[in-house]
Amino acid sequence: MTTASTTKIDATLLDSDVDEAKHLVFRLADELYATPLSSIREITKMQHVKPVPFMAPCFRGILNLRGQIISVVDLRLKFDMPCPEPNSGLLIVVDTDNGPIATIVDDVVSVNDFDQDSIETNLALKTKVPVEFFTGVGHLGERLVNIIEIGKTLSNEDFAIVRRMKDQAVGL
Amino acid sequence: MDGDDQQMRELQLIFIEEGKQSLADAEETLMALETTGFDVELVNKAFRLAHNFKGSARTVGFTELGKLAHKYEDLLTSIKKETLALSPKLISALLKCNDTLRKELLETQANPEYIPNVDAAIEALTEAASGGESISATLSAVPSTPEPDWTSGFGFFEDEAQKPALSQPTLKKINTPKAATPSVADETLKIPAQRLDVLLNIIGELVVNQSILDERRAKSDTGSPMAVQAIGYMSKLISDIQSLSISLRLVPIKPLFQKLRRTARDVADSLGKQVNLVEEGDYCELDKGVIDRMADPLNHMIRNAMDHGVDTAEERQKLGKSPVATVRVSALTQDDQVKITISDDGRGLNKDKILEKSIKNGLIKKGDELTDEQIFALIFAPGFSTKDQVTDVSGRGVGMEVVQRAVEDLKGSIRIESALGKGTTFEISLPLSLSIIGGMVVEANGQSYIVPVSQLVETIELNKYSIETVTGTGRTLNLRGEVLPVYNLASILHRKRGPVLKNKPDKDGVPPSRPALVTHYRGKKITFEVDKIVNQQKIVLKRLGKEFERIPGIVAGAVLSNGEPGLVLSLDQLVSGGD
């Protein structure tokens, strides 16, 4: 027992050491976004996503990732951005408080360090990301990058659009 | 904690598991003693169990538990030597002591730093042995006296464990029965060694066949009869492993039945009712998760049956029934389902009373027309209780809703039959395994969905029936004299109005097939029109994300045999909308 818990603590220390500044930069339409690398489980190419009823449009459906059923959310639709083709883009699998969720992004750009100090947080911006998950804006060369907490954005969202179907079901 | 402590904790956990079993056995023995009267064999058995429990408890450092077990053993010795007469009162005291030991055991399992408190129980036993009159009063006060004897706690935790144990939260925990529920990580399972042997044998065979295949591949000869045979054999072995691995999680229902028997006994005792409890099918096996989840609800149902269902001897005699009531608990395995039935020959459900109460509570409106089964289903509504007076026995704030919730969580169903004055029967159907089910793959609006076969009554071809459209009620069809509403799966799931497939004949004049599923819904049958019935598959259920939690009708995910993800539907939830 003792050994197990010690290892765990060590691993957490190690993780936060390495990952705090590392961010994954990805593209949605023509905007750049970044999110802490620690919350990313994997990046995979687009695959067959099966649509699911009763869900908001940005909830694209579910996919079979090596035997695990994972929900897929299209970030472009979630942030009200143009979305050329439903099957374009890449899948980023994110660890959220509610388990893994795959998100569709247009492209993955790079992995970059964004120190806490270099992120501008005092911005009077109107963003599509809820303000509590919007960390700030960072610089990547000439460009500005929106830094978000992608895991939190996804786990707090309620994707269900239909919860009671009684009225609807009767009389069909 | 250093290595020694860790090792000791492991030993303790083993003892806890074994101890639970000994206590269950002891309980069974005591109850047998109650029915047979004094029997040397039985007393000896109880004595041995208590003795072993005491010894093991001391070995792993549970001094307090050992102390109580010692007292328990003392009493049994006196009974054995016949210096103490075996009375129902004495058995009750021993049973309560058994309960205390189990409760303390569970506490120690949940919290390694917990120090059992057994003084009150020891006192109660002493009093019972001396023939004191106030046995039950003293015993019922056992849990509420957390005055632990710190100096005699179990030795090896002394330096580090005592401080936190003294603090307020831990003391509070003592009084919370919930805290005794062990976490999933601590859960252990007793598996018959023979099953593991079979599993190892099969895996050995699998390895042999794999090497055959490897060799063929090395020779680029994978099409040879030998390789084909090996592949065929392997797929049989894999399906064997699958069914065997499910059986590893299956445990007999007997201990649960035993618990129910104990509850029935205690409740009958306190209500002064004469009840004969009949158990059938206690050899049935169920997934451990199902048994754990159903233990409390079933216990509640037994209490209910004893309290509300069973009538008093006078009432029974007036109706010309035998004064001793019968409560029957049975389990029956059928395909991949287990049916648990609890029935009594008591009062039966009073429909008028249920309706009156439901109208008062706003569950239904006056003038609503309900079938018998719909009326009975009302007792599952939150906060429902037909008993005018809340009794100590079953009125503990948990209603029949708890039962229904548990059954629904386990993807099961529950049916009630009742006749006034004759009795009530509850029939609970539960899946044998939580992970693999028989699934019917159907298509709706171009998407495939899975419906558990257990929910289906039959599949029918709608072209063979005439479908009537009744304004206000929707479409109905007449199935062998029964009028069933017709729903369209695609319409419900994809909110498209009207049937997706039109009943138009193809170029040869043959109308396209319009298959439909017939399922139970609140005691009635309903039909679901689907676009296509694909096939029947064994479905491995997969957990879906939290996003799906509040969506009624979608209960799990699955990977279909073509590798595509699929959704498992619950048809009745789709119609009820999760009410």
Of A52, A64, A165, the CB nearest to B552: A165
Question: Quick check: B547 and A48 CB within 8 A?
Answer: no
Retrieve residue B334's tokens. 């059928």
Please tell me which residue of chain A has the smallest CA distance to B7.
A1
Q: Are A159 and A58 in contact (CB under 8 A)?
A: yes
Average pLDDT over chain B, rounded to an integer: 78
**ipTM for the assembly:** 0.73
* pLDDT over 90 at B207, yes or no: yes
Whole-number pLDDT of residue B160:
38
The C-alpha angle B520, B278, B340, rounded to 5 degrees, equals 25
* pLDDT over 90 at B388, yes or no: no
* pLDDT over 80 at A10, yes or no: no
DSSP state of A58: T
For chain A, what is the radius of gyration of the CA atoms? 18
Give the residue from A1, A8, A69 with the most B CB atoms within 10 Å of its CB, the best one to mutate: A69
pLDDT tens per residue, range A85-94 = 767 788 999 9
Of the pLDDT bands very low, low, confident and very high (cuts 50, 70, 90), residue B509 is low
Q: Are B101 and B53 in contact (CB under 8 A)?
A: yes
**Residue from B449, B406, B458, B399 nearest B431 by CA:** B406
DSSP lists the bridge partners of residue A65 as A68
DSSP state of A50: B
Residues of B with CB under 8 A from a CB of A: 1-3, 6, 9, 447, 472-475, 487-488, 491-495, 497, 542-548, 550-554, 557-559, 563-567, 574-579
CA end-to-end span of chain B, whole Å? 49
Produce one character per residue of B172-207: b if its CB has 16 or more CB atoms within 10 Å, e if not.
ebbeeeebbebeeeeeeeeeeeeeeeebeebeebee
3-class SS of residue A57: coil
pLDDT tens per residue, range B103-115 = 888 888 888 778 7
Percent of chain B residues past pLDDT 70, beyond the cut? 82
3-class SS of residue B277: strand
pLDDT tens per residue, range B25-46 = 888 888 888 888 788 888 888 8
3-class SS of residue A15: helix
Whole-number pLDDT of residue A156:
66
Average pLDDT over residues B487-509: 64
Q: Are A163 and A169 in contact (CB under 8 A)?
A: no
DSSP lists the bridge partners of residue A40 as A94
Q: How far is B550 from chain A (nearest CA, A)?
A: 7
Lowest mean pLDDT among B32-41, B253-262, B328-337, B389-398: B389-398
* pLDDT over 70 at B502, yes or no: no
Length of chain B, please? Answer: 579
Of B1, B497, B542, the CB nearest to A68: B542
Average pLDDT over residues B355-378: 79
State how far the Cα of A48 lies from the Cα of B565, in Å rounded to an integer: 9
Phi then psi for residue B292, to 5 deg, are -60, -45
Whole-number pLDDT of residue B394:
47
Lowest mean pLDDT among A95-99, A131-135, B36-40, B63-67: A131-135
* pLDDT over 70 at B142, yes or no: no
Question: Quick check: B551 and A166 CB within 8 A?
Answer: no
Q: How far is A153 from chain B (nearest CA, A)?
A: 13
Q: Are B459 and B516 in contact (CB under 8 A)?
A: yes
Of the pLDDT bands very low, low, confident and very high (cuts 50, 70, 90), residue B181 is very low
Q: How far is CA B10 from CA B3, B6, B15, B110, in A?
A: 11, 6, 9, 13
Which burial class, exposed, middle or buried, applies to B268 when counting CB atoms under 10 A from its CB (0-12, 13-18, 19+)?
buried
Whole-number pLDDT of residue A168:
42
Whole-number pLDDT of residue B179:
34
Whole-number pLDDT of residue B199:
92
Of the pLDDT bands very low, low, confident and very high (cuts 50, 70, 90), residue B404 is confident
Question: Quick check: B577 and A164 CB within 8 A?
Answer: yes
Q: Are A35 and A147 in contact (CB under 8 A)?
A: yes
* pLDDT over 80 at B436, yes or no: no
Of the pLDDT bands very low, low, confident and very high (cuts 50, 70, 90), residue B496 is low
Q: Say which amino acid occupies B543.
A: R
Question: Quick check: A2 and B6 CB within 8 A?
Answer: yes
Residues of A with Cβ-Cβ distance to B566 under 8 angstroms? 50
Q: How far is A93 from chain B (nearest CA, A)?
A: 13
* pLDDT over 90 at B341, yes or no: yes
Question: Quick check: A64 and B491 CB within 8 A?
Answer: no
Of the pLDDT bands very low, low, confident and very high (cuts 50, 70, 90), residue B205 is very high
Number of Cβ atoms within 10 Å of the Cβ of B466:
8
Retrieve residue B392's tokens. 């100590």
pLDDT tens per residue, range B49-93 = 888 888 788 778 888 888 888 888 888 888 887 788 888 788 888
* pLDDT over 80 at B253, yes or no: yes
Q: Where are the alpha helices (DSSP H) in B37-62?
A: 40-59
Retrieve residue A27's tokens. 């593209």
Residues of B with Cβ-Cβ distance to A63 under 8 angstroms? 565
Most confident region among A153-167, B3-17, B392-406 by mean pLDDT:
B3-17
Q: Are B487 and A172 in contact (CB under 8 A)?
A: yes
State how far the Cα of B558 lies from the Cα of B314, in Å rounded to an integer: 55
pLDDT tens per residue, range A42-61 = 999 888 888 888 888 888 88
Please tell me which residue of chain B has the smallest CA distance to A59.
B547
* pLDDT over 90 at B24, yes or no: no
Average pLDDT over chain A, rounded to an integer: 76
* pLDDT over 70 at B481, yes or no: yes
Question: Quick check: A163 and B543 CB within 8 A?
Answer: no
Q: How far is CA B79 from CA A85, B46, B123, B215, in A?
A: 83, 11, 18, 70
State how far the Cα of B303 lies from the Cα of B310, in Å rounded to an integer: 10
Whole-number pLDDT of residue B174:
35
Q: Are B529 and B521 in contact (CB under 8 A)?
A: no
Average pLDDT over residues B324-334: 89
Q: Are B520 and B373 in contact (CB under 8 A)?
A: no
Average pLDDT over residues B274-298: 87
Percent of chain B residues past pLDDT 90, beyond the cut? 7
Q: Are B568 and A68 in contact (CB under 8 A)?
A: no
Average pLDDT over residues B495-523: 67
**Residue from B48, B53, B45, B15 nearest B28 by CA:** B45
Average pLDDT over residues A6-19: 44
Q: How far is A160 from chain B (nearest CA, A)?
A: 7
Q: How far is B431 from chain A (nearest CA, A)?
A: 22
Average pLDDT over residues A119-147: 78
Question: Quick check: B492 and A55 CB within 8 A?
Answer: no
State how far the Cα of A74 lies from the Cα of B117, in Å rounded to an integer: 57
Q: How far is B125 from chain A (nearest CA, A)?
A: 37
Residues of B with Cβ-Cβ distance to A158 under 8 angstroms? 550
Give the residue from B469, B542, B547 with the most A CB atoms within 10 Å of its CB, the best one to mutate: B547
Residues of B with Cβ-Cβ distance to A164 under 8 angstroms? 552, 577-579
The C-alpha angle B391, B376, B296, rounded to 5 degrees, equals 50
**Residue from A122, A86, A11, A169 nearest B485 by CA:** A169
DSSP string, B92-134: HHHHHHHHHHHHHHHHHHH-TT-----HHHHHHHHHHHTT-S-
Residues of A with CB under 8 A from a CB of B: 1-2, 48, 50-55, 59, 61-64, 67-71, 98-101, 155, 157-160, 162-166, 168-172
* pLDDT over 60 at B336, yes or no: yes
